[in-house]
Amino acid sequence: MEQLVDRSVVVCAYLCMRTTIELPDPLFRIAKALAREKGISLKEFFTEALDRAVNTPRPQGKRMERPPIGKSQGRRIPARSNAEISAILEEEELGTTR
């Protein structure tokens, strides 16, 4: 007997991420009320809010000349290229270190 799979479930498995977020009760109640006022689900409300926060252009600040580490700490951070930083992050995700 062949088992059928709903395509929407397969698509969501590849395009959606489920997570749990803890919110203070007052903030949750406000978000729920605002979603109700807009006539949308809580999921849609949070998705729109997060999308807006992520895609809002941020002002470009002045670039730091040196990392903000005081001399009293007595250590230096080596300068790393973006490629080196990316490689380090990938190694951390894989559980290996240099």
Q: What backbone phi and psi angles, to 5 degrees, belong to 4?
A: -95, 145
Q: What is the pLDDT of residue 88?
A: 85
C-alpha–C-alpha distance, residues 30 and 45, integer Å: 11
| Positions in the chain whose pLDDT score sits under 50 | none
Task: Give me the phi and psi of 83, to 5 degrees please.
Answer: -65, -40
pLDDT attached to residue 38? 94
- Contact between 32 and 25 under an 8 Å Cβ cutoff? The reply is no
Those residues with Cβ within 8 angstroms of residue 8's Cβ, 6 or more apart along the chain or in another chain: none
For residue 9, which amino acid is it? V
Structure confidence at residue 35 (pLDDT):
95
Separation between Cα atoms, residue 89 and residue 83, nearest integer Å: 10
